[in-house]
Amino acid sequence: MLIEITTHDGVTRKTTVETYDPVAINESINNGELLTVVIGDLIISRINVKEVMPVEVTEVV
């Protein structure tokens, strides 16, 4: 699944994950013992993550 991550510094990145688990991502982002979070193939400072959401893919026929 393709997801989009927006950071507090205004950068938006897309990455692919096998499964999108918003609860697990939320727990990682809010875990004060972690400095970074891994989402797909990205490693991001957890305090810089502003928004994580799935990207809807539309098929062209």
Over residues 4-17, the pLDDT tens digits come to 999 999 999 999 99
Over residues 15-32, the pLDDT tens digits come to 999 999 999 999 999 999
The span from the CA of 41 to the CA of 44, in Å, is 10
Q: Using alpha carbons only, give the angle 42, 2, 9 rounded to the nearest 5 degrees.
A: 50
User: What is the chain's length?
Assistant: 61
What are the structural domain ranges in the chain? 2-54
Say if residues 34 and 28 touch (Cβ distance below 8 Å): yes
Say if residues 16 and 57 touch (Cβ distance below 8 Å): no
Global pTM reads 0.83
The span from the CA of 29 to the CA of 50, in Å, is 9
